[in-house]
């Protein structure tokens, strides 16, 4: 058998079920990999080695007794550090929650464990999921396994890096404006943002409540389909979670896609897009045509990306998103005041207002403060109609554009990022340019649609290139099928960072 950390989650689950290996052996292999490689990457905030081995041992004992095993039995998985668990801390990579221990476990995590998954640890992220590079973490940045001088993306950068570097068989992230798909593209892995309401948000520390979704990050499409099937489904503890039956996403992966209509949004293929990414997606169109799919041109006018004479980007979607998301963040993060939750200043203060101000000033990082201030301003008296209400109207126009385009096609094919992974520090001095790193992803969140990022090749510099498929609500099954057919036919290079073989 090949090295255990090289196996996909599905193959590893089969190997454990068949007795080709044990859950303990698989878990120990990943713990050894973390000990060997994570110092260079910093994907994890915390690992649960003793608990993980105990979980794995219980699975091996159950198998020895002939008990039925779950679909993820013995598969070591990492979870983003904004998902609450009764074990370990839930820090959101923030000083504000540095020692917070949740009294409950997120539904998505509970479902993973019920399916037999072994939780290895919690992964690094941009503080409170606010960022596109994992440079905003109070615990320090995560590095891209393909080039440690470059960012892994964000905010789920730790989860993406852990999967790419073979430090977890799969991982869970959250996506508010691209925080699963963008790091998936930068790190050469698969990442799904499900339909809003497809996966329970119970136990997810809120950033933008009308935008947040939890989803899988994996090495291939089949693994993403497997994990999505486990974590999806209704939950009475989340009023936004839709109680709708979950298809067997794996069952249709091999179904041919001849006749599938794939839309190519013209607004996404302007001079704003890196030439190598544009070429990779054009090659993907050729692959899809060879599989019998039809490529049709569609328009998303309110997701248009403009480029001025200085090469600066602008977008209605970005503008609307950073009003809606920051307004919701301002509301959600008001609870962190040093009294109800979170970091409390040790300085002596004269009144409760000073206590709140000092505690929040010490506990939050610069980017979180920036977004709270933006959101508070947008919601303030005299500005609500000018900013927040107008952003909601633009959001509706964006959703209408997608609805119209998806009557002419079954799925949309689009870039994930304007460029491959950028260098550390490249965008930190210009927040607007950092925000524009998500220019191709945020519109799907505003519209509440499912979107699946998959590898599309490597750049000349050896960096991963990603593309995404976007579909109507609850069309994850179609997205997985279209992605799996491309994955099989595209003959892509092995998406394995060179550092893995060098460190072996």
**Per-residue confidence in pLDDT tens, the chain, 504 aa:** 459 999 999 999 999 999 999 999 999 999 999 999 999 999 999 999 999 999 999 999 999 999 999 999 999 999 999 999 999 999 999 999 999 999 999 999 999 999 999 999 999 999 999 999 999 999 999 999 999 999 999 999 999 999 999 999 999 999 999 999 999 999 999 999 999 999 999 999 999 999 999 999 999 999 999 999 999 999 999 999 999 999 999 999 999 999 999 999 999 998 889 999 999 999 999 999 999 999 999 999 999 887 766 666 668 999 999 999 999 999 999 999 998 889 999 999 889 999 999 999 999 999 999 999 999 999 998 899 999 999 999 999 999 999 999 999 999 999 999 999 999 999 998 888 898 899 999 999 999 999 999 999 999 999 999 999 999 999 999 999 999 999 999 989 889 999 887 665
In a domain, 218, yes or no: no
CA 207 to chain centroid, in Å, comes to: 14
DSSP annotation of 353 reads: H
- The three-state secondary structure class of 49 is helix
Residue 105 lies in a domain: no
SS3 108: helix
Active-site residue 80, yes or no?
A: yes
DSSP 473: T
Distance CA 94, CA 333 (A): 12
Whole-angstrom distance, CA of residue 180 vs CA of residue 193: 7
Q: Is residue 371, in this structure, part of any structural domain at all?
A: yes
Task: Answer yes or no: 314 catalytic.
Answer: no
**pLDDT digits over 85-116, tens only?**
999 999 999 999 999 999 999 999 999 999 99
381 belongs to a structural domain: yes
Number of domains in the chain: 1
Kindly state whether residue 330 falls inside one of the protein's structural domains: yes
3-state DSSP assignment of residue 144? strand
Quote the CA–CA distance of 204 and 238 in Å, as a whole number: 10
- Do 479 and 253 form a contact (C-beta atoms < 8 A)? no
Active-site entry in 93, 155, 200, 303: 155
Sign of the dihedral defined by the CA atoms of residues 120, 126, 128, 131, in that order: negative
Q: What is the pLDDT of residue 306?
A: 77
Is residue 443 a contact partner of residue 300, using CB atoms and an 8 Å limit? yes
Q: How many helices (H) and strands (E) does the chain have?
A: 16, 13
Catalytic residue among 22, 80, 111, 459: 80
Q: Are 504 and 459 in contact (CB under 8 A)?
A: no
Distance, CA of 479 to chain centre:
16
Range of the domain at 340: 313-394
Burial class (CB in 10 A: 0-12, 13-18, 19+), 361: exposed
Check residue 1 and give its pLDDT: 41
Q: Where do we find the tokens 């505003």?
A: 446
pTM of whole model > 0.95? Answer: yes
Residue 55 lies in a domain: no
Query: Which residue in the list 22, 42, 93, 179 is annotated as catalytic?
Result: 179
Q: Is residue 360 part of a domain?
A: yes
Residue 166 located in a structural domain:
no
Q: What is the pLDDT of residue 310?
A: 66
Place of tokens 């074990």: 87
Encoded tokens for 339: 């009294």
Non-local CB neighbours of 495 within 8 Å, separated by 6+ positions: 164, 188, 189, 219, 455, 464
Is residue 179 annotated as part of the catalytic site, yes or no?
A: yes
At 38 the pLDDT is 98
Q: Could you give the 3-state DSSP secondary structure of residue 444? A: helix
Q: Write out the two tokens for 320.
A: 């609307």
């Amino acid at each position: 058998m090949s090295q255990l950390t090289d196996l996909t989650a599905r193959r590893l689950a089969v190997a454990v079920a068949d007795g080709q290996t044990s859950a303990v052996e698989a878990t120990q292999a990943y713990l050894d990999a973390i000990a060997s490689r994570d110092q260079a990457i910093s994907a994890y905030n915390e690992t649960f080695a003793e608990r993980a081995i105990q979980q794995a041992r219980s699975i091996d004992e159950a198998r020895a007794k002939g008990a039925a095993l779950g679909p993820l039995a013995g598969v070591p998985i990492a979870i983003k550090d904004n998902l609450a668990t009764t074990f370990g801390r839930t820090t959101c990579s923030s000083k504000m929650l540095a020692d917070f221990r949740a009294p409950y476990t997120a539904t998505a995590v509970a479902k993973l464990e019920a399916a037999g998954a072994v939780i290895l640890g919690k992964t690094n992220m941009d503080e409170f999921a606010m960022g596109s590079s994992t440079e905003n973490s109070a615990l320090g940045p995560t590095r891209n396994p393909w080039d440690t001088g470059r960012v892994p993306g964000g905010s789920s950068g730790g989860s993406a890096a852990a999967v790419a570097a073979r430090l977890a068989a799969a991982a869970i992230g959250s996506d508010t404006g691209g925080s699963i798909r963008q790091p998936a593209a930068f790190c050469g892995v698969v990442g799904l943002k499900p339909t809003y309401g497809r996966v329970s948000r119970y136990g997810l520390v809120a950033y933008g409540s009308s935008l947040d979704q939890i989803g899988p990050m994996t090495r291939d499409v089949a693994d993403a389909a497997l994990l999505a099937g486990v974590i999806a489904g209704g939950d009475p503890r989340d009023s936004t979670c839709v109680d709708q039956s979950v298809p067997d996403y794996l069952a249709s992966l091999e179904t041919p896609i001849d006749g599938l209509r794939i839309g190519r949004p013209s607004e996404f293929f302007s001079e704003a897009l890196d030439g190598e990414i544009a070429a990779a997606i054009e090659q993907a169109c050729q692959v899809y045509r060879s599989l019998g799919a039809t490529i049709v041109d569609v328009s998303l006018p309110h997701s248009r990306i403009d480029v001025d004479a200085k090469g600066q980007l602008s977008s209605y979607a970005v503008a609307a998103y950073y009003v809606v998301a920051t307004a919701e963040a301002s509301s959600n993060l008001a609870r962190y005041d040093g009294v109800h939750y979170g970091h409390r200043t040790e300085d002596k203060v004269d009144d409760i207002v000073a206590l709140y101000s000092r505690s929040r000033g010490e506990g939050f990082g610069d980017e979180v403060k920036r977004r709270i201030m933006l959101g508070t301003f947008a919601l303030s008296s005299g500005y609500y109609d000018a900013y927040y209400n107008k952003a909601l109207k633009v959001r509706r126009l964006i959703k209408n554009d997608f609805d119209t385009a998806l009557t002419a096609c079954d799925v949309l094919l689009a870039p994930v990022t304007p460029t491959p992974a950028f260098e550390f520090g490249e965008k930190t001095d210009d927040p607007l340019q950092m925000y524009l790193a998500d220019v191709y992803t945020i519109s799907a969140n505003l519209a509440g649609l499912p979107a699946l990022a998959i590898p599309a090749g490597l750049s000349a510099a050896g960096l991963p290139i990603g593309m995404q498929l976007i579909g109507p609500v609850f069309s994850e099954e179609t997205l997985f099928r279209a992605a799996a057919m491309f994955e099989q036919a595209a003959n892509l290079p092995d998406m394995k960072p060179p550092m893995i073989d060098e460190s072996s």
